[in-house]
Amino acid sequence: MQNNPPNESIFEFNMTDFDTVPQGQYIGIFKDVQKTHHDQWGDGVMFIFEIAVGEHKGQTVTRIGKPHASKGNATGKMIAGIQGSFTPGQKADLRPYIGMHYNILMEPTQGQKTRIAQVWPYQRQQQSQSMPVAPPTMPYSENHYSDDIPFD
């Protein structure tokens, strides 16, 4: 016969300010890219990271973009951040990057949640070097536009 602990009632809870992690910069692990679909905006891809350190360690953060990459959309920016660069005509295979650590910048959305704004490779800094690692930038174009899917 197996001894099961008695059921424990829980009556007290703490309300947090965010359903996701608050706006700010974090260190996270690249976990996956999955297909997604929204009735209003159609097919997309979801980039999934897990916060690796700090108060929000273990929480999942995401960014959703279109199923194709371009310089001006979230998918192209995420691929460029994960690989370090991504140029027109280049193909991307993100499988080798799964499990790698990244700096993650979270931004607020209209729905009072947050989403990934930008990622770039995390580089451990030696104690004698205290200069922060700057995020990669996308080349500016006069025809720059963003076709991000406005998921919350």
Residue range 50-89, pLDDT digits in tens: 999 999 999 999 999 999 999 889 999 999 999 999 998 8
Say how far apart CA 117 and CA 133 lie, in whole Å: 16
Q: How far is CA 133 from CA 4, 45, 52, 102, 120, in A?
A: 51, 27, 18, 11, 9
List, as one string, the DSSP characters of 72-126.
Answer: TSHHHHHHHHHHS---TT-----GGGTT-EEEEEEEE-TTS-EEEEEEEE--PPP
What per-residue confidence (pLDDT) applies to 51? 95
Model confidence pTM above 0.75: no
Does residue 118 have a pLDDT over 70?
A: yes
**Assigned domain for 106 exists:** yes
**Assigned domain for 28 exists:** yes
Does residue 141 have a pLDDT over 90?
A: no
**Assigned domain for 5 exists:** no
Q: DSSP class of residue 47? A: E
What per-residue confidence (pLDDT) applies to 7? 59
Question: Lowest-confidence range among 4-13, 35-44, 71-80, 120-129?
Answer: 4-13
Say if residue 121 is exposed, middle or buried (CB neighbours under 10 Å; 0-12, 13-18, 19+). Answer: middle
| Residue 74 · residue 146 · CB < 8 Å | yes
More confident residue, 145 or 62: 62
| Residue 87 · residue 69 · CB < 8 Å | no
Does residue 45 have a pLDDT over 80?
A: yes
Residues spanned by the domain of 49: 24-121
CATH of the domain at 63: 2.40.50
**Assigned domain for 145 exists:** no
Locus of tokens 């260190």: 27
**Assigned domain for 141 exists:** no
**Assigned domain for 49 exists:** yes
More confident residue, 51 or 127: 51
**Assigned domain for 133 exists:** no
Count structural domains, the chain: 1
Does residue 5 have a pLDDT over 90?
A: no
**Assigned domain for 55 exists:** yes
What per-residue confidence (pLDDT) applies to 12? 58
Q: How many CB atoms lie within 10 A of CB 85?
A: 10
